[in-house]
Amino acid sequence: MADTKPSCPCDKCCRVPDQKRLQLGKQLVQQGTFICQQSLIDLPAVAIYILPFLDDWDVLSMGGCSKSLHGVCESEETWKQLYKRRWCNPSTVGDSSKDDQAFTHDKGWKALYISKHRASSLAISEIYVNFEGLDSMFTPNDLFSGIELVKPLNITYEDVYFFFFRKELNVLINLIGLYYAFFCWDVSVEDLKKDMMARKVAEKKVTISWCLPVTQRYGVHMIEEKHTRVFSLEEIVETEMSFFYILRYAREHRDEVKEVIIKLCLDRNDHL
């Protein structure tokens, strides 16, 4: 019977007795750790340039891996770059930059990052409260009112990712985040789909139903028509937000399109 064990990257490891394999493995780990630590010590600037491209939670996690990583991940320069990547934009900093500078002078960039993140979380949680009663059914007015409520917050795409792309939330909140990610932050379709999959919201589905009332056009009597269509959030992105254009048209032409209702479509295996 063929050996089903995974191949080992070290030829020596597969040619020694089992009793010596563990000892050799420990030596290899120690050598690898030493090389890793030496690399970080020799090239601190490289690590500082790489870390700001990671998520904040990844940086925090890496800081607990070793003493060398902890030093780089906790450095002022790393958190300064993380902060600038997320908030140093003319549309998001505004008049608070002077206060931020005073804060960093006293407590540091990591403390400022955490403080700003918590402030964003608190402000966005108030948006959640406004839509608690809607449960799984709402109208285009509810959606566009929510979009207007979020506008003064000057949210970043990271805010959308962390606070709006959450599976347990009302799908209305997911849609508001989707709107800002696509139209305000110009996130590409592929990147948006990837992030939605990571946050487990891409497969959430909504049903939109509307009614075309009885009309008389060109001498022809048009009977009432009722329509229903199901979208997953991923499909909304793939169709370049046609869902939002449909709702906007329905909102602006209420005499032509009536009884527009949006519902959360629950799958059998979906437990929210």
Q: Looking at per-residue confidence, does 52 or 239 come out higher?
A: 239
3-state helix, strand, coil in the chain (%, to 5): 65, 10, 25
Asked whether the CA dihedral 228, 229, 232, 237 is positive or negative, the reply is negative
**Res 30: pLDDT:** 47
Structure tokens, 163? 């606070």
Number of H helices, E strands in the chain: 14, 6
Q: Looking at per-residue confidence, does 157 or 253 come out higher?
A: 157
Beta strand ranges found along the chain (DSSP E): 137-138, 205-212, 215-217, 220-222, 225-232, 258-265
Q: How far is CA 149 from CA 5, 45, 97, 163, 184, in A?
A: 57, 42, 23, 15, 15
Q: Looking at per-residue confidence, does 48 or 167 come out higher?
A: 167
> Helix, strand or coil for residue 65?
coil
Whether residue 47 is predicted with pLDDT greater than 80 in this model: the reply is no
Instruction: Kindly indicate the confidence band of residue 100, based on its pLDDT and cuts at 50, 70 and 90.
Output: low
**Average per-residue pLDDT in the chain?**
75
**Res 191: pLDDT:** 93
Could you give the percent of the chain with pLDDT greater than 90? 23
What value does the mean pLDDT take over residues 16-24?
45
Whether residue 1 is predicted with pLDDT greater than 60 in this model: the reply is no
Q: On the CB side of 102, how many CA atoms lie within 13 Å of its CA?
A: 5
Alpha carbon distance, N-terminus to C-terminus of the chain: 47
Whether residue 184 is predicted with pLDDT greater than 50 in this model: the reply is yes
Tell me which of 4-13, 36-45, 75-84, 150-159 is least confident: 4-13
Instruction: Kindly indicate the confidence band of residue 163, based on its pLDDT and cuts at 50, 70 and 90.
Output: very high
Beta strand ranges found along 88-219 (DSSP E): 137-138, 205-212, 215-217
Tell me which of 2-6, 134-138, 176-180, 214-218 is least confident: 2-6
pTM for the structure as a whole: 0.70
Q: Looking at per-residue confidence, does 23 or 262 come out higher?
A: 262
Contact present, 243 and 208 (Cβ < 8 Å)? yes
What value does the mean pLDDT take over residues 134-149?
86
Whether residue 203 is predicted with pLDDT greater than 90 in this model: the reply is yes
**Res 104: pLDDT:** 66
Residues 73-108 as b/e (b if ≥16 CB within 10 A, e otherwise) read bebebbbbbbbeebbeeeebeeeeeeebeebbeeeb
What residues does each domain of the chain span? 16-74, 131-265
Residues 237-251 as b/e (b if ≥16 CB within 10 A, e otherwise) read beeebebbebbeebe
What value does the mean pLDDT take over residues 147-163?
91
Q: Which residues pair with 264 in a beta bridge?
A: 206
Instruction: Kindly indicate the confidence band of residue 259, based on its pLDDT and cuts at 50, 70 and 90.
Output: confident
**Res 5: pLDDT:** 35
Burial of 17 from C-beta contacts in 10 A (0-12 / 13-18 / 19+): exposed
Q: Which residues pair with 231 in a beta bridge?
A: 206
